[in-house]
């Protein structure tokens, strides 16, 4: 019988990899984890956590201005970019240490260096070989920049947290959630922000009402949205970066900026780790293909998280990790083995204002369920009756007419993620519109609007209204 150094060797110290390593060790497995960079992966170091911290920072600029309507007088403090960067770096360093401590406390062997697969049971890290009964690849994703003249002058989301100096003029390329978040953040911190997107709407894949509404709200904050626009060249000059663009009619324009952020997509971080040589199957996008247990085409090798390109969300990777742990080492006492569902996964986008969403968009709900009812409202939040802000809030419910089940819930407004999380639990449990209607709202809050919407909006022309 073959013996191995470890029961599980994890490649990648992001959220999913750390969770799988830690919980496997708690089940009694011998576990090692290899990571060449700071522990915590994208989320902790250059993703969710620092991005949310910077989003908080960006909101203060508006808050100081809005406070005058509530009786606060005097000048607002000035913004210190260097101080924010230093405070963020200190907090991220603390979290790196927390992750290492969590692994050490359960006996996980941490190996620092670049890991590469040699065969189905062997990993090499800086010329040292380790064997394992099973190997888990959780190497995440990485930003991509398309081929465009002058691409060597741009930055990606990985560099945005430590730009030096602060970009007084920023051009953001892309229309996905990362592009929209950074446009909102740096606009709030004081940059003059232009956002260029080749399509005619932001946030492909989100509900169309959300896409239209958030674009309008972002524009109101001062972001210069240039939709239907392509970058043709970027040139470095003495005065900054000269960015040449064209619209769908080939009409040219140019912008002079200090920094250009390309946020046009992320790719699985799957190169250089020996996957092809070992025979691990990947799809055309370079993502590792896995089954319901996150097992690859090589039975002893598993993969999860962004490197598999299913749903690129940290909580999804954490859920996938627990499926792998239960599959390999059995569930915790008294529990059934976990499975992963990708239905009704809530998410938030930290634009200004925030987006929170769970379930189907209106277009997808009509395709899936046929007859649906749509409830929608937008309003000025109570806070802004005194703040002077013109910001509005959007809320939308989608209901399957046949079952009365709420199948889509969308919000654009302050703290949308905090509000939608609780509703996601109800929707996962199958809550109907009747349940929503019978729930007492918390007054006065924005969230109560979700349980007080009574009249569905009229169906779009050409779509039959529900038969109720």
Catalytic residues: 443
Which two structure tokens, joined as six digits, stand for 83? 């101080």
**How far is it, in rounded angstroms, from Cα 292 to Cα 305?**
13
Closest CA to 81 of 8, 167, 6: 167
Label the pairing between strands 192-197 and 266-268: unpaired
| Residue that the structure tokens 């170091």 belong to | 45
CB 171 within 8 A of CB 194: yes
**Residue 151 CB burial class (10 angstroms; 0-12, 13-18, ≥19):** middle
**What residues have CB less than 8 Å from 346, skipping those under 6 apart?**
356, 357, 358, 417, 420, 421, 423, 424
Q: What are the C-alpha distances in Å from 240 to residues 153, 226, 262, 287?
A: 10, 20, 16, 37
Phi, psi values for residue 327, rounded to 5°:
-65, -40
Q: What angle do CA 173, 178, 180 make, to 5 degrees?
A: 65
């Amino acid at each position: 019988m073959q013996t191995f150094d470890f029961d599980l060797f994890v490649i990648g110290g992001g959220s999913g990899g750390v969770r799988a390593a830690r919980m496997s060790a708690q089940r009694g497995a011998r576990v090692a984890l290899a990571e060449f960079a700071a522990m915590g992966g994208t989320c902790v170091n250059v993703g969710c956590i620092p991005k949310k911290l910077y989003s908080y920072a960006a909101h203060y600029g508006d808050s100081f201005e809005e406070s005058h309507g509530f009786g606060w007088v005097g000048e607002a403090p000035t913004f210190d970019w260097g101080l924010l960067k230093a405070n963020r770096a200190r907090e991220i360093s603390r979290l790196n240490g927390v992750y290492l401590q969590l692994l050490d406390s359960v006996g996980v062997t941490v190996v620092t260096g670049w890991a590469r697969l040699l065969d189905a049971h062997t990993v090499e890290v800086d010329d040292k070989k380790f064997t394992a009964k099973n190997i888990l690849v959780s190497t995440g994703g990485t930003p991509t920049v398309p081929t465009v003249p002058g691409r060597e002058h741009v930055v990606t989301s990985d560099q945005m947290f430590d730009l030096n100096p602060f970009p007084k003029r920023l051009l953001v390329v892309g229309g996905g959630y990362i592009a929209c978040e950074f446009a909102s953040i740096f606009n709030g911190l004081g940059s003059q922000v232009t956002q260029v997107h080749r399509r005619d709407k932001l946030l492909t894949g989100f509900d169309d009402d959300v896409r239209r509404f958030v674009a309008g709200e972002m524009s109101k904050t001062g972001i210069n949205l240039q939709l239907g626009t392509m970058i043709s060249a970027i040139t470095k000059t003495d005065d900054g970066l000269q960015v040449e663009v064209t619209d769908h009619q080939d009409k040219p324009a140019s912008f002079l900026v200090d920094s250009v952020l390309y946020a046009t997509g992320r790719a699985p971080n799957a190169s250089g780790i020996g996957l092809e040589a070992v025979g691990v199957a990947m799809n055309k996008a370079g993502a590792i293909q896995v089954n319901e247990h996150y097992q690859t085409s090589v039975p002893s090798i598993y993969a999860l998280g962004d490197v598999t390109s299913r749903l690129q969300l940290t909580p999804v990777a954490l859920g996938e990790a627990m499926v792998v742990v239960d599959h390999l080492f059995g569930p915790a006492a008294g529990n059934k083995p976990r499975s992963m569902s990708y239905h009704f996964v809530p998410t938030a986008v930290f634009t200004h204002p925030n987006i929170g969403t769970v379930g189907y968009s209106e277009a997808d709900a009509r395709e899936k369920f046929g007859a649906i009812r749509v409830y929608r409202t937008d309003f000025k939040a109570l806070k802004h009756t005194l703040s002077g802000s013109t910001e509005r809030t959007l809320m939308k419910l989608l209901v399957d007419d046949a079952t009365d089940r709420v199948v889509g819930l969308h919000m654009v407004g302050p703290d949308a993620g905090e509000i939608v999380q609780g509703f996601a639990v109800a929707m996962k449990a199958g809550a109907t519109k009747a349940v929503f209607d019978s729930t007492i709202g918390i007054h006065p809050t924005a969230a109560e609007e979700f349980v007080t919407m009574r009249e569905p909006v009229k169906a779009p022309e050409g779509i039959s209204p529900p038969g109720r």
